[in-house]
């Protein structure tokens, strides 16, 4: 097989890039290790920054998002028994975020790829990029007994944190920066009316909690748990009781509970790999960086990678201009690190750390007190939460 751009990974990053390039007449093939059912069965976060929503529209995939997604102009931080609201709209110069499940967004991207007869190969095993520093790189994969070779100009590594692409960069070239947090988030999805029309991030001495939603009939809640906890340790009843304890009493009192339809524990990690380009391999999204979910930056960090790569590829194929490809790694990393900083800050501000000393807790108190006493601090939070410009 032959294509211009071979994309490894059929998550939001790979699909979005494939769709955008297709609309500009640039040929792609997407290789995905899992089945489509598996990819669409994963429950992921649900907040899209303004810039990502714009990219969905540019990719001609924004119709259902605009119809079913909710625009949120603020959220709450609950602490010390009270709720303070962050006015995103006011402090970001009129911007907002869209609450729309990443699973739904992935479905929309697959539908668009199907409509345009894009090539997405599922259940591709043993995917491996080759000859990445030559002018003629290629990717191989196995389907049953057959080995298939795809010749291409460029390879995109959009295969998430556990993918093969990053591993193809030699150890003496690749630098990895990692911070693992000493807790995870236990998440529950339930078919219940959300306790609040806007998200509530709660800081509590028993641990962090988050009230989020997918729609007005589908709620998503999280609580901070020790890494040693297993999902089986948490009955629905125990989860709801603990969630309520960490929220202001009046919020807990009006919480509608119900059976969980999904329950899982995710560890919290910050991670960046540098550089994001090696020869003709370009990393994008979770393959190159991970943030803890506290600032809702996961997908949004991927968005700027896709935006830069998209424009760089179009400049290359349409105008023979390679400056975007040359500058990709440095440009992408500059924004990636800002999302890292913000996610780390939100995580440090709102979680209870097992090894923290009283001094640390005093600083957390002061950070929160400063935030809600300073317009400048709220402006900084708002501009990061709605997404820094690409």
Binding site for ligand APR (CB under 6 A): 8-14, 31-34, 39, 44-45, 102, 124, 127, 158-160, 162-164, 285-286, 298-299, 302
Looking at residue 352, the DSSP 8-state letter turns out to be P
DSSP string covering 313-344 = HHHHHHH---HHHHHHHHHHHHHHHHHHHHHH
Between strands 28-31 and 5-8, the pairing is: parallel
From ligand PHB, ligand APR, none, interface partner of 46 (C-beta below 5 to 8 A by class): ligand PHB
Q: Shortest Cβ distance from residue 350 to ligand PHB (Å)?
A: 10
| Interacting partner of 212 out of ligand PHB, ligand APR, none (Cβ under 5 to 8 A depending on kind) | ligand PHB
Task: Out of 3, 196, 212, 270, name the contact with ligand PHB by CB under 6 A.
Answer: 212
Contact status, residue 188 vs residue 39, Cβ threshold 8 Å? no
Contact flag: residue 163 with ligand PHB (CB under 6 A): no
For ligand PHB, the closer CB: 17 or 45 = 45
Smallest distance from ligand APR to CB 305, Å = 8
Task: Compare residues 129 and 293 and give the one whose CB is closer to ligand PHB.
Answer: 293
The span from the CA of 282 to the CA of 360, in Å, is 40
Q: Which is nearer to ligand PHB, 198 or 274 (CB)?
A: 198
When CB distances are held under 5 to 8 angstroms depending on the partner's kind, the choice from ligand APR, ligand PHB, none that residue 124 binds is ligand APR
Q: Which residue is nearest to ligand PHB (CB)?
A: 212
SS3 44: coil
**Of ligand PHB, ligand APR, none, which one does residue 12 interact with (CB within 5 to 8 Å by kind)?**
ligand APR
Please, what sign has the CA dihedral across residues 245, 248, 250, 251? negative
Q: How many helices (H) and strands (E) does the chain have?
A: 12, 20
Shortest distance, position 32 Cβ to ligand APR, whole Å: 5
For 227-295, what is the HEC assignment?
CCCCHHHCCHHHHHHHHHHCCCHHHHHCCCCCCEEEEEEEEEEEEEEECCEECCEEECHHHCEECCHHH
Measured from the CB of residue 11, what is the shortest distance to ligand APR in angstroms? 2
Q: Which is nearer to ligand PHB, 30 or 299 (CB)?
A: 299
Exposure on the CB side of residue 83, measured as CA atoms within 13 A:
19
CA–CA gap between residue 388 and residue 301 (Å, rounded): 10
- Enumerate the β-bridge partners of residue 92: none
Which does residue 299 bind out of ligand APR, ligand PHB, none, counting CB within 5 to 8 angstroms by kind?
Answer: ligand APR
Nearer to ligand PHB, 163 or 194 (CB): 194
Closer residue to ligand PHB in complex, CB, 282/342: 342
Element (H, E) at 39: helix 36-41
- 79 sits near ligand PHB (criterion: CB under 6 A): no
CB 256 to ligand APR: min, Å: 27
Please, are residues 9 and 32 in contact by the beta-carbon 8 Å criterion?
yes
Least distance to ligand PHB from the beta carbon of 199, Å?
6
Q: Which helix (H) or strand (E) holds 201?
A: strand 200-202
Q: Which is nearer to ligand PHB, 138 or 208 (CB)?
A: 208
Residue 47 interacts with ligand PHB (CB under 6 A)?
Answer: yes
Q: Which of 220, 251, 258 is nearest to 77 (CA)?
A: 251
The residue (of 269 and 311) whose beta carbon lies closer to ligand PHB is 269
Q: Which does 220 bind (CB under 5 to 8 A by kind): ligand PHB, ligand APR, none?
A: ligand PHB
Q: From the list ligand PHB, ligand APR, none, pick the one residue 8 interacts with, judged by a Cβ distance below 5 to 8 Å according to partner type.
A: ligand APR
Among 33, 203, 204, 220, binds ligand PHB (CB under 6 A): 220
Neighbours of 226 (CB within 10 A): 13
Q: Which two tokens stand for residue 309?
A: 């790569």
* Sheet strands side by side (includes 74-79): 82-87, 74-79, 200-202, 209-215, 218-225, 175-190, 260-274, 289-290
Nearer to ligand PHB among residue 15 and residue 189 (C-beta): 189
Site for ligand PHB in 248-307 (CB under 6 A): 293-294, 296
Site for ligand PHB, rule CB under 6 A:
45-47, 199, 212, 220, 293-294, 296
């Amino acid at each position: 097989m032959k294509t211009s751009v071979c994309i490894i990974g059929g998550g939001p990053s790979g699909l979005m890039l494939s769709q955008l390039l297709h609309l500009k007449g640039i040929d792609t093939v997407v290789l995905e290790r899992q089945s489509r059912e598996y990819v669409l069965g994963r429950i992921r976060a649900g907040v899209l920054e303004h810039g990502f929503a714009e990219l969905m529209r540019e990719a001609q995939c924004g119709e259902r998002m605009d119809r079913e997604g909710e625009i949120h102009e603020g959220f709450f931080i609950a602490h010390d028994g009270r709720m303070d609201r962050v006015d995103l709209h006011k402090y970001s110069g009129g911007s907002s975020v869209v609450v729309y499940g990443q699973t739904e967004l992935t479905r929309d991207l697959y539908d668009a790829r199907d409509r345009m007869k894009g090539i997405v190969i599922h259940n591709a095993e043993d995917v491996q990029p080759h000859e990445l520093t030559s002018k003629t790189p290629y990717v191989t994969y196995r389907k049953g007994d057959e080995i298939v070779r795809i010749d291409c100009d460029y390879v995109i590594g959009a295969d998430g944190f556990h993918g093969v692409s990053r591993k193809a960069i030699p150890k003496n070239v690749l630098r990895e920066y990692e911070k693992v947090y000493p807790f995870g988030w236990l998440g529950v999805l339930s078919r219940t009316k959300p306790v609040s029309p806007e998200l509530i991030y709660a800081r509590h001495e028993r641990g962090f909690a988050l009230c989020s939603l997918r729609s007005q009939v589908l709620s998503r809640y999280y609580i901070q748990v020790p890494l040693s906890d297993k999902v089986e340790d948490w009955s629905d009843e125990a989860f709801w009781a603990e969630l309520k304890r960490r929220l202001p009493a009046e919020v807990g009192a009006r919480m509608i509970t119900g059976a969980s339809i999904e329950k899982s524990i995710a560890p919290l990690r910050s991670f960046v790999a540098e550089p994001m380009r090696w020869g003709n391999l370009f990393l994008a999204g979770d393959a190159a960086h991970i943030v803890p979910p506290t600032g809702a930056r996961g997908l949004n960090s991927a968005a700027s990678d896709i935006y830069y790569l998209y424009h760089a590829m179009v400049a290359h194929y349409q105008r023979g201009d390679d400056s975007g490809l040359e500058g990709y790694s440095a440009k992408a990393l500059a924004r990636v690190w800002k999302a890292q900083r913000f996610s780390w800050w939100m995580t440090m501000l709102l979680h209870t750390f097992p090894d923290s000393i009283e001094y640390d807790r005093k600083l957390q108190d002061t950070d929160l007190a400063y935030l809600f006493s300073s317009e400048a601090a709220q402006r900084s939070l708002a501009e990061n939460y709605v997404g820094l410009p690409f």
